[in-house]
A and B are shown apart, each in its own frame.
Chain A
């Protein structure tokens, strides 16, 4: 894991003092709310329906036990004993007092954490593969590249007032576990002639105009990475639309001028920017990479797991994934208990996960974009003990990637942008499909719910997506089918007229029934949908 040196710490400490001063000036009335807004937003502080919400950065979703425990401490001391893990691998707290925010940032800084650029029209937290460093299919650990980008983007003087927010993801495997091509910039590390470089995709995103990022450059070496990304951003900052916030993301620019023309402009800018000495020496990436060296695995660790407890075996098959190291496994901790709030964890649960990481996973945890937690490096011999402790804490739901493993935004229960509630819909769907056998029979089915068109709940990328809208003052839910945020990326299609809260649950059941009646051997829902197309499902829904 990355460890701050004195420079990193000084910068984060200075940010705490800067924000303390900004809050003081706001509370004293020296700056208006309008002027304060971009300042607090660049520190992850939103004003929501009921209170301030603070979003804390978890860079590329990686944290250690001490940091996790601090997240629990903040939930306990400053919030209502829980936090909400987000689709951007961050955590947010819903009941924050403005005057507490500087102290929270100081607490975070004491464990090398911050809330820098977790909102605002700037470069946001860099996201990555939650299995980085543990998956057998990666060409390298993508996190050193993400950390290089984190530092470069932090308080970037030219790109702090972009036309709109800007999200970057870095992965290093063909299987895309980070929805890479639905980011403003997606980078896939690839190997060419024995050398590592990034394949660059620009202009993806969700929101009201979802787009899949086209590839604009097949290979950028580490020595050029920051110059190249700086060129990508400069073209956007100069030419991205600012007249309409709904058309201000880079995807609109890339779509309007075309990927080829955008790529050409980036090349021209890159030729100039490359002369500026923006790229650090190779030694800097090496310094960072050394901190992500694989942990000291026990090479004698046994590959055998005792499956005699049937409940454990179910969890093992569903939530535990293969590790690159023999004798080890990747554990997914579901934050989606049936009837619960997707992504929420209590302070006690957060503490327990911190304990488990320290004891069993080389002191490492990951946050996933599907709002779950990962223990990346677990000895197979320890799986049963971990499962028992998770079970006691209500964290052993065996539903990874099943229909109840729902991504949902906070929706109208919290969010000032929302048009409809997401959480009760997620709860009703999970309850309808509560039977574990039924869920497993349905197989991989990624269901994603957004409470407004901004798509924080990734509904465009759901195998089944739900979009909450306001229809003449009542909440209405549109159904989408056929999206994917994975390497087989696609955007869901709206089925037709929307439904009320109970109607949408019934409609989903008609979809899953149709799937069960139509599927061929080994087909996931998405495969069947792609084979037979939209119409049979539409007919099943609307009759």
Chain B
């Protein structure tokens, strides 16, 4: 977290009136769609991953990106190196893992797949588009 960043407020607090906040943190079980009317004023949305097995945050990220959110979208918590490529595809562009991620492993992991089979939030063309133009 950068020093000048304001602390993220909870979704409940944000919706309950602290609507001047520009950073919000949503928990795995929160409904990301509740933020859609407020995306213009947000600069950071942090999505919590309480354990790496809890995949709800992937859908939260896509819902936010599909809703037009262009600000920073951060995956925070139990975020493992092998998950970062999937998270990037879902629209995350920032990561706050609890345990340090090895940079070299991550770089190799991100470069590994040249092709993807399905469109997602990262704008990459799926294989079928490469096949058919």
Contact = CB atoms under 8 A, between A and B. Distances in A.
Interface of A: 5, 7-8, 10-11, 14, 17-18, 21-22, 25, 30, 35, 38-39, 121, 151-152, 154-163, 226, 234, 237-238, 242, 272, 276-278, 280-281, 283-284, 287
A300 to B, nearest CB: 38
Given A14-B112, A157-B90, A284 B132 contact: yes
Contact of A35 (B52, B59, B66, B114): B52
A7 B130 contact: yes
Interface string B99-133: 00010010011001111111110000011111110
Contacts of A155: 86, 113, 116-117
A11 B117 contact: yes
Contact of B114 (A10, A22, A159, A242): A10
B74 interface: no
Contact of A278 (B53, B58, B102, B118): B118
Given A7-B130, A280-B132, A162 B55 contact: yes
13 contacts: A11-B117, A14-B114, A39-B82, A121-B55, A151-B118, A152-B117, A152-B118, A155-B86, A161-B54, A161-B83, A163-B55, A242-B54, A278-B118
Contact of B120 (A5, A8, A158): A158
A157 B120 contact: yes
Contact of A161 (B52, B115, B128): B52
A413 to B, nearest CB: 29
Contacts of B25: none
Contacts of A11: 113, 115, 117, 127
Given A160-B86, A238-B56, 7 more contacts: A22-B82, A30-B102, A151-B128, A155-B116, A160-B58, A238-B59, A277-B119
Contacts of A160: 55, 58, 86
Counting contact residues on chain B (CB < 8 A from A), the size range is: 35 or more
Interface of B: 31, 52-56, 58-60, 62, 66, 80, 82-83, 85-87, 89-90, 102, 105, 108-109, 112-120, 126-132
A369 B132 CA distance: 35
A30 B102 CA distance: 10
A5 B132 CA distance: 13
Contacts of A278: 118-119
Most chain B C-beta atoms within 10 Å of own C-beta, residue among A38, A155, A161: A161
A158 B82 contact: no
B88 to A, nearest CB: 8
A280 B58 contact: no
B7 to A, nearest CB: 26
Which 5 A/B pairs are nearest by Cβ-Cβ distance?
Answer: A161-B55, A157-B89, A280-B128, A157-B86, A7-B127
A181 to B, nearest CB: 26
Contacts of A39: 82
Contacts of B118: 151-152, 156-157, 226, 278
B66 A272 contact: yes
Nearest to B67: A272
B59 A18 contact: no
A38 B109 contact: no
B59 A234 contact: yes
B83 to A, nearest CB: 8
Contacts of B56: 237-238, 242
Nearest to A18: B112
Contact of B117 (A21, A154, A162): A154
Nearest to B81: A31
Nearest to A156: B118
A11 B60 CA distance: 27
Contact of A17 (B59, B87, B112, B126): B112
Contacts of A226: 118
A281 B128 contact: yes
Contacts of B126: 280
B130 to A, nearest CB: 6
B115 A237 contact: no
A237 B117 contact: no
A152 B80 CA distance: 24
A434 to B, nearest CB: 47
A488 B86 CA distance: 40
A155 B85 CA distance: 10
Contacts of B60: 238
Contact of A158 (B54, B59, B113, B131): B59
A284 B86 contact: no
Most chain A C-beta atoms within 10 Å of own C-beta, residue among B31, B60, B82, B132: B82
A153 to B, nearest CB: 8
Contacts of B87: 157
Most chain A C-beta atoms within 10 Å of own C-beta, residue among B86, B117, B119, B126: B117
A281 B132 contact: yes
A338 B82 CA distance: 46
A121 B105 contact: no
A357 to B, nearest CB: 28
Nearest to B120: A157
A160 B83 CA distance: 9
Nearest to A226: B118
A272 B130 CA distance: 24
A477 to B, nearest CB: 33
Contacts of A234: 59, 62
Contacts of B66: 272, 276
B58 A151 contact: no
Nearest to B58: A158
Contacts of A272: 66
B53 A161 contact: yes
Given A161-B58, A238-B56, A242-B54, A14 B108 contact: no
B131 A284 contact: yes
Nearest to B55: A161
Contact of B119 (A35, A151, A159, A276): A276
